Structure 1
């Protein structure tokens, strides 16, 4: 399932310069811009949810299409050839601005944006609060299934945002590098095992990913000052290199 948000053919696309969109888009901000012809709106909700309702014009993307599994390693980035195949199927071009959302608070949507960053495409935004915030704010919803207009996307992989195992080993005692574990407290303590061994990387601090969400505001991110204070309490400050991890880089995205 899926489709370009805009229905304009390529030869009729506007040549006007669009206002640059922020990385984090509130539902109200997106309502002002959702008719733009350069936007590709991607829904990474559960398939049944997308069929039931979604933001008007959204295309569906299966989360499995942007992860790679090599047992026992889960949640790896797709290889460049896979990036090219998937993003070409969605008609992605250098001018496309991707807006992503899901129905769980942003985990799957952010994983898509992280993958785009590594693929060399940096025109993207997250719809704050996702489908829940959009619908509960009274914005229109849609039930029509949209299909993509394929194109040709050539990735330009940039792995600078990726921390390898060797990087972690080399910086375990580095005071300028903070490891942030965003799994559940039980996983962090080794009480819940979803891998061959339990516990956490030595020296890692903990903040469960859901703590960043404001449940009183339909899973929007908490205000920036609040998040900065929460992170600072754990030693995560702007002067540090921060490596965020979970089990499959879903929650940590």
Structure 2
């Protein structure tokens, strides 16, 4: 799920590789990795995980991945400023549609630039496809599943401590999902923006590998980053709560703790 700058540079001209820059268009237009297309994943928020809501998410994501040009033989690489939450969201979305040939650039464009690798400013167009992947329901969660399993699963809150303890309010309710544990996603990264090594990460996520873990944040971007870290460490049963606090915190009938 991770690709190094060296490895990406060696396949940059491969026609079966799609490189997606998930930063803002302003950042993309200033400079980007040669051949990359711009896909601002932060423009797409889904906070409805009712049955109909998930169905809408599936359809919209399928359209988005068709727009990107995903086909079974393509390798899709997402990058961000660092090993960030937007690129992680892209990788998680493809894994959700059972497209395993996907990765994020470890260290993002920051590391790429530090190594004086090539950059360009010209925009690159999409070559759309008709994408129809197979949904993997094992890596997504809605609010009902969490509500009904609050005591049976480990819920991991990837937000900042302030959001977790309720001093930063970003929904009708403040605080966190009951029984959840706060591990800020920033703890996943080294100072240079690459992922920490497995040994360091295992000290943070010190649980049995068969633990069922659900990650969440405000909109399931930071949660996707923590999801990737847990998968990288060999955790088998990890889900992302798609609606995250943007949904849970605005449903007054759901419990919240401070």
Question: Which TM-score band (shorter chain)?
Answer: 0.7 to 0.9
* Runs of 5+ consecutive residues of structure 1 not aligned to the other structure: 1-22
* 1:90 corresponding residue in structure 2: 68
* Runs of 5+ consecutive residues of structure 2 not aligned to the other structure: 225-258
TM-score w.r.t. the length of structure 1 is 0.81
* 1:58 corresponding residue in structure 2: 36
1:170 Cα shift?
2.7
Q: Which has the higher helix share?
A: 2
1:155 Cα shift?
3.1
- Counterparts of 1:78 and 1:129 in 2: how far apart (Å)? 32
1:226-241 superposed matches below 5 A: 226-232=200-206, 236-241=207-212
1:208-223 superposed matches below 5 A: 208-215=184-191, 218-223=192-197
1:1-253 superposed matches below 5 A: 23-64=1-42, 66-68=44-46, 79-174=57-152, 177-215=153-191, 218-232=192-206, 236-253=207-224
1:242 Cα shift?
1.2
Gap change, CA 1:102 and 1:69, over 3 Å in 2: same
Aligned-residue CA RMSD (Å): 2.1
Computing the radius of gyration over CA atoms, which structure comes out larger, 1 or 2? 1
- Counterparts of 1:31 and 1:83 in 2: how far apart (Å)? 28
1:117 Cα shift?
1.7
The aligned length equals 221
TM-score w.r.t. the length of structure 2 is 0.79
> 1:68 touches 1:77 (CA, 8 Å); kept in 2?
no
- Of 105-114 and 44-53, more deviation after overlay is shown by 105-114
Residues 25-81 of structure 1, C-alpha deviation per residue, up to 9 Å, x if partnerless? 11122222223221110000111000000111110012245433559xxx9796333
Gap change, CA 1:165 and 1:227, over 3 Å in 2: same
1:91 Cα shift?
1.8
> 1:66 touches 1:115 (CA, 8 Å); kept in 2?
no
* 1:15 corresponding residue in structure 2: none
> 1:77 touches 1:115 (CA, 8 Å); kept in 2?
no
